[in-house]
Amino acid sequence: MDAQAYRELAAREHEREQAARKLHWQTTVVLGYNNIPLDVTADGFDVSPILGRSCLCATNLERLILGGVKVIVWSPGIGFWKPSGEGLGGRAKVRFIQQQYEEVHRLPKLTGGQLQIARNAQDIRRINAEGGVAILLHLSGVSHLNDMAILREYYDLGVRMIHCGFQDWPETGPYDDVVKYGQPGKVVYHGTKLNAHGIRTIEEMKKLGIIVDVAHLLPEGFDDVVSRLEGLPFVYSHGGVGSLFVNERNFDDTRIRRVAEHRGVYGIGVCLGPDVRDEAKTGDPENEAKLRLISERRAEKEKQIAAQARDIRDYVRQRYTVWDSWEERELGRLKGYVVKSSMSKTVAHMKYLREHFGPEVVGYGPDYECSYQHVLGLEEADKTPNLTRALLDAGFTPQETQGAMGHNFMRVFETILK
């Protein structure tokens, strides 16, 4: 390539990049599902990672602003069970979750209004107009909600989206409702059909105006929940397309079509795994060996933490605070990160949705956890503009790209969050 041709190519690339950046900043970008990145303390939680005091936080304030994010959906992402299955229950579990929400409520003051809680679509528009990032609070699971007063407490704290998986009541509930999960011989915290508690919860969510999230449901549970929504839009906040990646969390085309028919959103995440059609027979042996080794070391570390912990809070603190830096060191020893997915896979899943079910169903739910993800091009929230450019390069129109990056989620917010 001669110098003139190179200059022309560089000019065209610069023009495309500038157009993509301009479109991104004109978009109400929504990260449709993420875990709240909190430090666990001796008696509660701490928002330090969000304020930028942890290099491993993918969704701290600075990265959200640099990434042009306008709305972030945050859910308590810190587990409350031990490896043995023993964990917090009853009111103790409720407080454990509520403490995390209460800590997030400190953010408006701590950030000078740059992060604010949104309770409805009007709040989102106001916060964005003021130059802030709107936080939409999410609840992972309908467990412990046999008392509707607890659901209303969550609502008063700002919870506006709940996914109905993780239906982890005791095997026999207060009214002898039997709760079963998952597949025979496998412990899976994905609810199947709702029991009486779950049915009451769905009905109360509809009355209050809480968005139903069907992520983590098994197919039977999905069918049961959707049958109770009477045409209301709902979301699948984070995951992938079952036709591209076979996983118990990823739905088949029939169920994705039901999301589209309800004018809902199917959020594609960043932890998708391989595309089984293309890579099932050509997996990277070196990468697979790294994954196995990390898995073995992780299991050993969990046993050590469980044996040393003074109580469940100390276990959680070690498992979810000390864990990140430990895993980074282990990955470093393996001379390279284990890549869970890549931006190209995220784009492929979004493109599949657009081609088979229409552009209005496409959403982005990256599922950032308490540390950054090992995803080339989308490691942290400040890389979000890369996805806008990638969608345009993949043939999405500007309007379709804006829909996928947030406007489709906003349509659901406008409908449900009055």
pLDDT in tens, 323-332: 555 555 555 5
Question: Residue 356 in contact with residue 350, Cβ under 8 Å?
Answer: no
Is this model's pTM higher than 0.85 or not?
yes
- In this structure, which amino acid lies at residue 301? K
**In angstroms, rounded to a whole number, what is the distance separating the alpha carbons of residues 351 and 333?**
36
Q: Does the residue 4 lie in any domain?
A: no
- The mean pLDDT value of the chain amounts to 82
The pLDDT value recorded for residue 375 is: 76
Out of 94-98, 189-193, 220-224, 346-350, pick the least confident. Answer: 189-193
Residues 333 and 353 in one domain: no
Same domain, 78 and 193: yes
**Residues spanned by the domain of 251:** 23-273+340-416
- Look at residue 200 and tell me if it is in a domain: yes
pLDDT value at residue 130 = 97
In the predicted model, what is the mean pLDDT of residues 86-99? 73
d(CA 277, CA 279): 6
pLDDT of residue 47: 93
- How large a percentage of the chain has pLDDT more than 90? 49
Which residue type, as a one-letter code, is found at position 389? R
Specify the pLDDT at position 340: 59
Do 106 and 199 lie in one domain? The reply is yes
pLDDT grade for 175, boundaries at 50, 70 and 90: very low
Helix axes 90-104, 148-156, angle to 10 degrees: 10
Q: Give yes or no: residues 80 and 162 share one domain.
A: yes
Q: Are residues 233 and 300 in the same domain?
A: no
Contact predicate 269/362, CB 8 Å: no
Rounded to the nearest 10 degrees, what angle do helices 384-393 and 343-357 cross at?
50
**Residue 282: its pLDDT value, please?**
42
Q: How far apart are CA 239 and CA 251, in angstroms?
A: 9
pLDDT in the model for residue 410: 98
The residue ranking higher by pLDDT, 234 or 278, is: 234
Task: Give SS3 for 281.
Answer: coil
**Rounded distance, CA 266 to CA 257, Å?**
10
Among 312, 338, 364, the domain boundary falls at 338
